[in-house]
Amino acid sequence: MNIALIAHDKKKDNLIRFVIAYKDIFQKHSLFATGTTGKRINEETGLDLHRFKSGPLGGDQEIGSYIANDKMDLVIFFRDPLTAQPHEPDVSALIRLCDVYAVPLATNMGTAEILIKGLERGDIQWRDIQRKENNGNEG
């Protein structure tokens, strides 16, 4: 599964702790992250991941493109709802794309834990089935 990891500045430490806690699950999947978040995850966990640009510089939109092209299966985005974000329209668009394309999205640690444990159990395998069906209907 392809998993996007994103965190606003005040939530980066929480995401790092979360990834460390579930490192054994994350290392079985392909990880993608926005700029600084990805750098910190790599430095603090040793996990390999693809880094997009920083969120405000287009990283959220790059992940959105992956969602729209059926290349992202799960998004974990630890948002800071109490701080105004200069790229809030991009954040809203990313969340909307998750809804449009039925990509599971966690915006806080509680929901992320449920999704990651579901991923471990195989509860998100329907994404593979959906992708095969979509690829079979092209052309």
Give helix then strand counts, H and E, for the chain: 7, 5
Which residue in the list 9, 24, 48, 60 is annotated as catalytic? Answer: 60
Answer yes or no: 13 catalytic. no
Distance CA 127, CA 104 (A): 10
CA angle 56, 97, 92 (to 5 degrees): 45
Distance CA 98, CA 22 (A): 23
Query: Which helix (DSSP H) or strand (DSSP E) does residue 125 occupy?
Result: none
Distance CA 136, CA 138 (A): 6
Annotated catalytic sites, by residue?
A: 60
